[in-house]
Chains A and B, each alone.
Chain A
Amino acid sequence: MAKVLVVTSGKGGVGKTTSTAALGGALAQGGDKVCVIDFDVGLRNLDLVMGAERRVVFDLINVVQGDAKLSQALIRDKRLENLSLLPASQTRDKDALTEEGVARVLNDLREKFDWIVCDSPAGIERGATLAMRHADVAVVVTNPEVSSVRDSDRIIGLLDSKTEKAEKGERIEKHLLLTRYDQARAERGEMLKKEDVLEILSIPLLGIIPESEEVLRASNVGSPVTLNNPNSGPARAYFDAVRRLKGESVEMMIPSDKKGLFGKLFGRRAA
């Protein structure tokens, strides 16, 4: 049975798109059939982060409106054949997305894939509510920073009231993904600790993604960080998160980037 997962946050710039690409990548690297969908109509970026920006022909709105078949719009990843992308429209109006249309596309995707990962736009407007509307599972991406935590709290409220599951009286599964975490700063009292964020938001923790240069390095070259450098701290944290998502119990760690002797000597790499 396919699962629809929404990656959401309220606040922009906290790592939704990065996390969508990395979670989608990690799920696909584990052998599952995965489709990632960009819901950010007008400001699409998942295509760029996944390195598929030059292969976009049709998009989600084309499919919703019946101008293109799903199979025409899906872009198969060049590195992983079981990973596909459904891009957002860059030019159309976001009102072109209808609830029924989105539901129809998701139902079609459910037959083809094991996981459908929806990259929500920031905010709490239509695009964000449509992205979460039909989800079975929500991953709330939060930075250890006051405005991000506040907005996540608001999004959790929406997940509990505005989703299809919530309206049917069922509970939507919610997980916290703490990103850009700097353990040293948290320990020095300069940054909210994971315990602080967990206590305030009170949803289970899916993973802690450490602040790392590897995230930018991966997006620079258009690759999910789990593919670009599977041994990096963030990649290992995303792999652990995916195992927890699938019900495994994995000890919570904050993996750091391992530096070899060369890296230690010279500090940074060129590429």
Chain B
Amino acid sequence: MNLMSFFNRRTSAPVARERLQILLAHERGIVGGKSDLLAQLREEILAVVGKHLSIERDNVQVKMNRGADLSTLEIEVELPGPEVVRV
């Protein structure tokens, strides 16, 4: 055990907190858990983008990451390839 690991050894709680935040952000999306915010956002984004472009349901991803200092909302909309548009 070096000196650094001696001082770092005890603060495992921040690791627990961060692991939980990442895990639950993911699980809430799948299980439709506690907050339906992400599911709702996804539906509304689908509706808005869908007015102008034809998109597949599965190609809209909404992710939220809550951190201590910074939280981000990541929205990814995959547009159909050109060949699909021509059809």
Contact = CB atoms under 8 A, between A and B. Distances in A.
**Taking chain A's interface residues, is the majority helix, strand, or loop, or is none over half, making it mixed?**
helix
A200 B21 contact: yes
A188 B8 CA distance: 11
Contacts of A146: 16, 19-20
Interface stretch (B31-39, B44-52, B53-61, B72-80): B31-39
A149 B28 contact: no
Residue among A153, A156, A190, A191 with max Cβ neighbours from chain B (10 Å): A153
A212 interface: no
Q: Is the interface of B mostly helix, strand, loop or mixed?
A: helix
A160 B13 contact: no
A157 B28 CA distance: 8
A150 B13 contact: no
B32 to A, nearest CB: 7
A contact residues, range: 20 to 34
B27 interface: yes
Contacts of A188: 10-11
B38 to A, nearest CB: 12
A215 interface: no
A161 B16 contact: no
Closest 6 CB pairs of A and B: A189-B11, A157-B33, A157-B34, A156-B34, A196-B17, A189-B13
